[in-house]
Amino acid sequence: MAVGTELVQKSQEAKEQAYCPYSKFRVGAAVLTSDGTVFTGCNVENASYPLGLCAERTAISKAVSEGYISFKVIAIASDLEDCFISPCGACRQFMREFGSQWDVYMSKSDGSYKLMTVEELLPCSFGPDDLRKGKNPVGNSKL
């Protein structure tokens, strides 16, 4: 079984744990670390809507909390049948924090998927290297 297929399956399983009483939109994610460890996550909504957490950020945060910061692949699943689930802008930036050259499998409910990289999903991105180069993220400010 291919890495993409296995991770999509794990993301579909993670979707089953979603806490989404408001939107009823279940999302699951499975992230593969550089050493082959897999962490899963689901979306967790909140009555104060902005405080909800996406599945991708849940899975990555679980991995980071266990000491992992190098990732190869993430797979995302939902109940969408007619289109591939795509990470929101916040999740794209969150993934970018850990590199731009890792794969993102966006799936449909039948297990089919579309493969892109973080860089393809977030071109011309701002990341940790920009801060190390002394770039000023606030424009013309003297900070």
| pLDDT block averages, 10 residues each, the chain of length 143 | 87 98 98 97 97 98 98 98 97 98 98 98 95 65 46
Q: Report pLDDT for 34.
A: 96
Catalytic residue, chosen from 13, 56, 66, 97, is 56
Binding-site residue positions = 43-49, 54, 88, 91
Residue type, 66: E
Tell me the two tokens of residue 85.
């689930």
Q: Report pLDDT for 136.
A: 58
* Catalytic residue status for 56: yes
Cα–Cα distance measured from residue 60 to residue 113, given in angstroms and rounded to the nearest whole number: 20
Helix (H, G, I), strand (E, B) or coil at 60: helix
Pick the CATH number of 3-132 from 3.30.1280.10, 1.10.540.10, 3.30.310.10, 3.40.140.10: 3.40.140.10
